[in-house]
Amino acid sequence: MTVDPDRNVTLRGEQELAERAGHLFLGAEREFVCAAGDLRTWAMPGMRARIVEARRRTATPLTVRKLFNPQVLGDERAERHLFEVADRGAHVRICTTGLPYETIVIDDRVAILAGPPVRGERAYTVVRSPDVVRSVSSLFRATWDAATELAEFRRVRPPVLGQESLRILAMLGAGHKDEAAARELGLSLRTYRRRVAELMRLLDARSRFEAGLRARELGLTG
Amino acid sequence: MTVDPDRNVTLRGEQELAERAGHLFLGAEREFVCAAGDLRTWAMPGMRARIVEARRRTATPLTVRKLFNPQVLGDERAERHLFEVADRGAHVRICTTGLPYETIVIDDRVAILAGPPVRGERAYTVVRSPDVVRSVSSLFRATWDAATELAEFRRVRPPVLGQESLRILAMLGAGHKDEAAARELGLSLRTYRRRVAELMRLLDARSRFEAGLRARELGLTG
DNA sequence: GAGGAAGTGGCAACTTGCTGCCACCGCCTC
DNA sequence: GAGGCGGTGGCAGCAAGTTGCCACTTCCTC
């Protein structure tokens, strides 16, 4: 990368971002924040696994904040992912004001700002100027503080569930044991349980009892 | 007892009933039916344990039918008992028409009819005359057929729960693990789980998920 | 066709929940 | 005070659920 901290560097496409700024992600020490309208943030090929791996090896407790628009809660898969992330210790919030451009700030030292997609590719500008980064960071902070915790947000907006999830809820609601339910749905025991765990995350439940409570609460059962 | 099948024998009080007709209860082979307005039926000292014991030793599947008035569902303890009985294989139904006098029929061979309490003591008449027994039995049958299965009845009438049960539901609903919940309520793990099991019977649930569903359904949670 | 992402399912180790058995206590009745 | 009864709690053994790990497949993209 460059040696001049006041020179912004623009990278085109996620491929290049991963190659030339990957070390920034891997090198996060204290805080990693990101704001985005959708979930494309992590489409960088090969990066996610490496980041997870790097994190596992360090004992440093990294604070991760992720801010999204409500639209990410529109489909079950994205939502599931969000809850998984939250479950791994990241703070996830939803804000109703628009987040057109993706913003990433690492350790208050470097910011990565995405531009609009051009021919399917987005440009990423890596900024290191302390004042600029601080400014971006504080803006993020303000939005963050006004936003709503994911679980809290969920309380008033039931998740959108697919057919299969509803069928699993039906099995659970009928009091079937996992084995019987899995057989009936044509799933392996492992997969069925994976699904149940995902559903429980979606429902923000720590026990099956709680999950049942919420499922009914949100009107997800017959 | 008597040798003349057409001579009815009247016994005063449950003590005497237990002593002189106990063998009838123990000797039931095919069917044991009883109808009562309340749950005093089994107040016979020492009998219950012996009956349970006798039943355990025989492999014969005894059909047990118990018919009650809705008022037995008025308090939690009686209700719990009912569900325990049902759980051990007895058929339990509720009928809304009055059942002033307790009626017991064993194997269609002998009927025991209770009279109204006199100075706190009820009289029990043991009848063996085939025609009388058959007649009583068929009357019972008619009422039975018109009555509602306990679980079905419950669906429209939520159980009445005491303070402790509600607190347990709250613990479950908060996603606490049994150990933490028991500690918080000042109960042993064993007792807490016993309570949960009882609640689940009460809610006619075969899994905690189902219990959560029903608890919400019946409006038993905040 | 190489490589990555996402999904599936088997296996195993572990936690949690469930229940029968037994001993004990307090209460009530005879 | 002996005995029944209901309730409690420890313990043990089993059933059920939870999770990580890994190998494999499929689909998609470069």
pLDDT of residue A44: 62
List residues in chain A touching B: CB distance below 8 A.
Answer: 172-177, 205-217, 221
pLDDT for residue B54 is more than 80: no
Percent of chain A with pLDDT over 70: 85
Q: Report the distance separating Cα A211 and Cα A172, nearest Å.
A: 10
Q: Higher confidence at residue B57 or residue A207?
A: A207
Nearest to A210 among B205, B212, B217 (CB): B212
Predicted local confidence at residue A209, as pLDDT: 97
Read off the pLDDT of each residue in B131-139 and give the average, rounded to a whole number: 81
A179 pLDDT band, cuts 50/70/90, is very high
Q: At what angle do helices A208-217 and A189-202 cross, to 10 degrees?
A: 60
**Range of B32-41, B48-57, B191-200 with top mean pLDDT:** B191-200
Q: Determine phi and psi for B145, rounding to 5 degrees.
A: -65, -30
Distance from CA of B145 to the nearest CA of A (A): 26
Give A174's contacts in chain B (Cβ within 8 Å).
Answer: 210
The answer to whether A208 and A200 are in contact (CB under 8 A) is yes
For residue B36, count other CB atoms closer than 10 A to its CB.
20
pLDDT at B16: 81
Q: What is the mean pLDDT of residues A174-179?
A: 94
Q: Average pLDDT in the A160-182 region? A: 92
**What local confidence, expressed as pLDDT, does residue B22 receive?**
82
- What residues of chain B have any CB closer than 8 angstroms to a CB in chain A? 172-177, 205-217, 221
Q: Under an 8 A CB cutoff, do B175 and A208 touch?
A: no
Asked whether the predicted pLDDT for residue A162 surpasses 70, the reply is yes
With H, G, I as helix, E, B as strand and everything else as coil, classify residue B36: strand
From residues 184-213 of A, list those within 7 angstroms of strand C by Cβ.
187-191, 194, 207
- Taking CA–CA distances from B171, the nearest residue in chain A reads A210
Please report the pLDDT score of residue A46 as a whole number: 63
Nucleotide nearest to B197 (CA to C1'): C18
Highest mean pLDDT among A61-70, A129-138, B163-172: B163-172
Q: What is the pLDDT of residue B177?
A: 95
pLDDT of A62 reads: 82
pLDDT at position B52 is 67
Residue B192 has pLDDT above 70, yes or no: yes
Sheet with B123-127, edge to edge strand ranges:
B9-12, B123-127, B110-114, B103-106, B31-36, B63-68, B91-94, B148-149
Which residues 75-114 on A are within 7 A of strand C at the CB atom?
Answer: 77
Distance CA B58, CA B142 (A): 29
Write down the mean pLDDT value for chain A.
81
What is residue B99's predicted lDDT score, i.e. its pLDDT? 73
